Amino acid sequence: MRRLDLLLANLGYCSRREARDFLKRHAITVKGITARNPADKARAEDVRIDGEPLDHPDGLLLVLNKPTGLVCSHDEREGPRVYDLLPERWRARNPQVTSIGRLDKDTSGLILLTDQTELVHKYTSPKHKVPKLYGATVDRELSPDLVPLFAAGTLLLDGEDTPCAPASLRILDDRRTAELVLTEGKYHQVRRMFAAVGATVLTLHRVQFGKLALGDLVPGAFRPVGESEI
């Protein structure tokens, strides 16, 4: 049971201070009985707002097809943010919706967004070794020798003390396009791994995160994920 004003504020419907007014302006019921007092306690599943159940009361988990040009940081000074794509009510939730790991501004593709802090820890922890599949294009032809090199788990990136974990590289026919599966997420890792072998990444797209794929999500589109999907 939680106070109605807290429930509404945490789910982004209004601030706690606005809750009294929100209750006046909307038909809010708890188990079918009209609620007028913001201090009343209720279970989320019993609440209806204008006849509608609460919006994802147990937390959001979204898969977004991130377009290039957006940042995963919350700091507006770093540029337009992935969160700006979300409906206003989701942006007002507390805890706030944040990304699970990050993609660079110039990287596109699959990013998970959630307001469930424990999921952020779960899926970014190196312990879990969630495989992430990237598609990259580079500025030169890649040598087949890179496949065993990336798989060896010995590649040391500039400024790092520990080598990259074994990564699976598949070089495609044109030799300037490759797929890379990583089980960790060092800063700018894909770009730095290719830089370590003399190649510059021109485009980078994350295709898959664990079992999750983008399906038919166009750039900028998102969908809620069932927890059983990951």
Catalytic residue positions? 104
Burial category of 58 from C-beta neighbours within 10 Å (exposed 0-12, middle 13-18, buried 19 and up): exposed
Query: Distance (Å, rounded) from C-alpha 134 to C-alpha 120?
Result: 20
Q: According to CB under 6 A, which one of 190, 205, 209, 214 is a site residue for ligand URA?
A: 190
By rule CB under 6 A, what string of x and - marks binding of each residue 88-107 to ligand URA? ---------------xx--x
DSSP 195: H
Which helix (H) or strand (E) is 52 found in, with range?
Answer: strand 52-53
Task: Work out whether 189 is an interface residue with ligand URA (CB under 6 A).
Answer: yes
Task: Work out whether 188 is an interface residue with ligand URA (CB under 6 A).
Answer: yes
- Output the smallest distance, CB 125 to ligand URA, in A: 17
Task: Work out whether 204 is an interface residue with ligand URA (CB under 6 A).
Answer: yes
Q: By the 8 A CB rule, do 68 and 107 touch?
A: yes
Task: Work out whether 179 is an interface residue with ligand URA (CB under 6 A).
Answer: no
Q: By the 8 A CB rule, do 138 and 202 touch?
A: yes
- Output the smallest distance, CB 52 to ligand URA, in A: 37
Q: Which residues of 133-143 are buried (b: 16+ CB within 10 A; e: fewer)?
A: bbbbebeeebe
How many residues bind ligand URA (CB under 6 A)? The answer is 8
Of the ranges 114-122, 156-164, 186-194, 215-223, which one interacts with ligand URA (CB under 6 A)? 186-194
Written as six digits, the tokens of 228 are 């059983």
Closer to ligand URA at the Cβ: 13 or 209?
209
**Which residues sit opposite 191 in a β-bridge?**
none
- Output the smallest distance, CB 116 to ligand URA, in A: 22
Task: Work out whether 205 is an interface residue with ligand URA (CB under 6 A).
Answer: no
Query: What residue type is assigned to position 13 of the chain?
Result: Y
DSSP 92: T
CA-angle at 50, arms to 227 and 14, nearest 5°? 70
Of the ranges 19-27, 87-95, 159-167, 184-192, which one interacts with ligand URA (CB under 6 A)? 184-192
Task: Work out whether 66 is an interface residue with ligand URA (CB under 6 A).
Answer: no
Work out the number of other CB atoms within 10 angstroms of the CB of residue 181.
16
Closer to ligand URA at the Cβ: 114 or 189?
189
By rule CB under 6 A, what string of x and - marks binding of each residue 8-47 to ligand URA? ----------------------------------------
Q: By the 8 A CB rule, do 86 and 66 touch?
A: no
Contact residues for ligand URA, defined by CB under 6 A: 103-104, 107, 188-191, 204
